A and B are shown apart, each in its own frame.
Chain A
Amino acid sequence: MSAITTAFGLVFQPSVLVTILLAAIFGLVVGAIPGLTATMAIALLVPVTFFMDPVPAVGAMVTCSAMAIFAGDIPGTLLRIPGTPASAAYTDEAYTMTRNGEGEIALGANLLFSVIGGLFGTIVLILSAPVLAEVALQFSSFEYFWLALLGLTCAVFIGTASPVKGFVSLFIGLFASTIGLNNPAGVPRFTFGNAELTGGVNFIAAMIGLFAVSEIFRFVISRRVQATPQAVVGNLFRGWGRMIVRYWRQQVRGNVLGTIIGALPGAGADIAAWVSYAVSKKLSRTPEKFGKGHVEGIVESTSANNAALAGAWVPALVFGIPGDSITAVVIGVLYLKNMNPGPTIFLENPQYIYAVFIIFILANLVMLPLGWAAIKGARTILRIPREILMPCILMFCIVGAFAINNSTFGVAVMLVFGVLGFLMEENDIPVAPCILGIVLGPMVEENFVTSMIKSDGSFLAFFERPIAGALGVVTLLVWSVPVLVGALRSRQTAIPREG
């Protein structure tokens, strides 16, 4: 008990609270700018934390990352430019809501369920970190291979009217992911001797291109300027109570899934959001509404990405194994501050761990007022005439794509994918599966090839380990059931047409 009291004493100091507040604002700014990820925000904080005490140093990172993940939703919803990759899964849905004049509902949902998801993840972290980390540590390449395949399956569920076109998009993304040196064999592929290409296609640059730049292309060819959706200010909280009641299932599911995916090393908030969105659509009673401005999927996936953030701390704190790229940076800072991660951290420095937990809760609570202010501020952007707004956005996209790797190569990738995205959408090929392909491609390939090397080419090995076997069976079921049902249906519809 005394450790908890000490922890409260450590956190509730003016200097710590001010640090947290500043970090929150910083996270908001970085998260809202496309191309700048939560990971970058954290990396930028590292030199600052060198000269801080342990609690404010870790507190700044926790708050900053939570805010950045939420803030990525704002430009995604208002302008179809996901601020961070974690928002990409439901960007289209949220943007459609904005165009339907329901932007404030979408943003309100983003804020509310980001907070709830974050708090849920924190509670799991507090109560069951050691147990959950133990499970996460049992994942080898066989398990990850099945997980990645399940992730790819999401592309089909997210997909549109034509499944073939969904697959086309997915394969384009998978192809893009093979470019470069980053493959298990360490062989340059499709690089044609270009040094920049050995680095491969950065998926953030591709994402900015596919979503934002293609939208700019579409804007310039639209004959009449679209009426700006005017949102009524102060309406942000509209329907919060109703949404919580109505979508409690989705929300719990998103929370649980997000925390688990976050806790698995190598999969973070972005994958959690994709998977949750797909699950939401798959299990929804009204899947036909998805993609047309329906808040249900947003609720689930926005809960998931913030829950994943806390989940990622599970293996990081217990074993010093990063759950995502953010905690990879954080672990370094923990060492620096003599808070060496490991099972003993809970015994040796309980006051610090409790302080971290308190900060997690604080960070999610401070998100409410700050997020509200940010949304209110950001909405004024919508009042700027589109013909002025769009050129400025293009400039932000260019600089954002540059900033990923500080090279104009990122801008070139953005442009290529901008043109590609424009052409794809003109022809009803959805862009979302393409991004999923770029994200998951390396994970599928690496885990497949390394598993095959380990098992001497035996496919049976994918089912030999208990967790892998279970995941494999689930994957095969998820695949075969819709195919069978689809085949039956298409036969029923095909017969009359031919006859």
Chain B
Amino acid sequence: MLRRNFLKTFAVAAVSLAAAAGSAWAAYPERPITIIVPWAAGGGTDATARIIGSLLEKELGQPVNVVNRTGGSGVVGHEAIAAAAPDGYTLGLATVEIGMLHWQGLTERSYNDYTPIALMNLDPAGVQVRADAPYKSVKDLVEDIKKNPGKFKASGTGQGGIWHLGIAGMLDSLNIDPSTVRWIPSQGAAPGLQDLVAGGVEIVPSSLPEARSLIDAGRVKSLAVMNPERNPAFPNVPTLEEETGSKWAIGAWRGIVGPKGMPEDVTKRLTEALDKIYKSKEYNEFMGQRGFGVKFAAGDDFLQFWKKSDEDLGAVMKKVGLAK
């Protein structure tokens, strides 16, 4: 509390000092900051952006407005982030889709068009089936898929979305033709899960937090998580590698980015603030409550992570025929 007050005083002092000295060396930030979210209010990305926004506001002493620029599977919002002035007053919460859209020819933007600031979250894909399904493990499921090609349908995001790639990549890594499981496009994980319970599809490879309420309600069970480690919020769900030996891992990530060419002092200030937020009790409590995974990487580390994710996704998309 004391520190926060100190920071605030410091910020106020700095701002007034800067004002006194003229705009020659105004300390960033001197006016409200906007964070663009490429997805709609109510989703996980929106919630993550809003908690980061409210903590960033405290950290920087300027209002942080979270605005939704939705539509086009994230194209519109990511485009708006890339096209903004690189002055640090327009940031965005980029999501994994930015590494996928360009492979499909839906945008030309990729990591080259952004200033990576900090990766804040990673949610690995899971393998969810109805709770009354006869499979005890993901192994049983895979056996059944092998035996009955064409019988299974999966859903949880749009055509070519991250969870679509999740299951396609998993099957591919197990030497099964990815097209043996039909993909049913949906508006997101929630409608996909509803369809799972209603009997419309058999598998939803969404992240675990997205399926959490139905898992808790005893309607859905998760057989595996496509990540090297188990999710601490779901310690009973094994990893794909434990069960099948496949090293396939995929997840949806979210990170604060800016347009390309931001001044170094601004990114430095933001990285410091975001690092502090990442370590804060509030952020971890929030993410823990929602069951969201946390992962941090700043600057160049983030860029490397981003590049690798981009390349991995591209490889899978080419394999399953989703890339142009």
Please give the residue numbers on chain A whose beta carbons come within 8 Å of chain B beta carbons, in ascending order. 39-40, 42-43, 46-47, 50, 137-143, 180-182, 184-186, 188, 195-196, 198-200, 202, 265-266, 318-322, 325-326, 328-329, 331-332, 335-336, 338, 340-344, 405-407, 446, 449-450, 453-454, 465
Contact = CB atoms under 8 A, between A and B. Distances in A.
B69 interface: yes
A426 B70 CA distance: 33
A39 B185 contact: no
Nearest to B51: A50
Interface in B179-203: 182, 184-187, 190-191, 193-195, 197-201
Nearest to B185: A184
A322 B210 CA distance: 12
B147 to A, nearest CB: 19
A395 B207 CA distance: 43
A198 B53 CA distance: 27
B214 A319 contact: yes
B32 interface: no
Interface of B: 34, 36, 40-44, 46-47, 50-51, 53-54, 66-73, 75-76, 79-80, 104, 106-107, 153, 155, 158-161, 182, 184-187, 190-191, 193-195, 197-201, 212-214, 216-219, 282, 286, 289-291
A450 B185 contact: yes
Given A186-B160, A198-B76, A454-B200, A342 B217 contact: yes
B69 A407 contact: yes
A65 to B, nearest CB: 12
A186 B213 contact: no
B67 A406 contact: yes
A180 B214 CA distance: 32
Contacts of A46: 47, 50
15 contacts: A42-B41, A181-B72, A182-B71, A182-B72, A186-B73, A186-B158, A198-B71, A198-B72, A325-B40, A325-B42, A328-B43, A328-B190, A340-B212, A450-B184, A454-B182
A50 B67 contact: no
B75 A198 contact: yes
A426 B106 CA distance: 39
B221 to A, nearest CB: 14
B153 A454 contact: yes
Given A321-B214, A325-B41, A332-B290, A140 B185 contact: no
A331 B213 contact: yes
Contacts, number: 170
A453 B41 contact: no
Given A40-B41, A454-B201, A199 B70 contact: yes
A453 B158 contact: no
B163 to A, nearest CB: 13
Nearest to B76: A199
Contacts of A199: 69-72, 75-76
Given A181-B72, A198-B73, A336-B289, 10 more contacts: A139-B194, A180-B72, A181-B73, A181-B75, A186-B160, A198-B72, A331-B213, A335-B289, A336-B286, A340-B213
A342 B213 contact: yes
Contacts of B194: 137, 139, 265, 321
B190 A321 contact: yes
A298 B71 CA distance: 32
B193 A47 contact: no
A453 B70 contact: no
A43 B42 contact: yes
A326 B41 CA distance: 9
The 3 closest A-B pairs by CB, nearest first: A320-B213, A199-B71, A328-B42
B185 A320 contact: no
A196 B75 CA distance: 8
B182 A50 contact: no
Nearest to B42: A328
Contacts of B155: 450
Contacts of A184: 158-159, 185
Contacts of B76: 195-196, 198-199, 405
A265 B190 contact: yes
A318 B70 contact: no
Contacts of A143: 198
B68 A198 contact: no
A180 B201 CA distance: 26
A137 B197 CA distance: 7
A329 B184 contact: no
Given A139-B198, A341-B213, A446 B106 contact: no
A279 B173 CA distance: 53
A445 to B, nearest CB: 11
A198 B73 CA distance: 8
B83 to A, nearest CB: 8
Contacts of A39: 41-42
A453 B186 CA distance: 12
Contacts of A319: 197, 213-214, 217, 219
B217 to A, nearest CB: 4
Nearest to A318: B217
Contact of B289 (A320, A338, A465): A338
A202 B286 CA distance: 31
Contacts of A465: 199
B213 A321 contact: yes
B154 to A, nearest CB: 11
A159 B242 CA distance: 61
Nearest to B216: A342
Contacts of A453: 153, 182, 184
B218 to A, nearest CB: 8
A335 B218 CA distance: 17
Contacts of B51: 47, 50
A141 B196 CA distance: 11
Contacts of B216: 320, 340, 342, 344
B217 A320 contact: yes
Contacts of B75: 181, 195, 198-199
A319 B131 CA distance: 14
Contacts of A335: 289-291
Nearest to B104: A186
Interface centre among A199, A202, A318, A340 (most CB of B within 10 A): A199
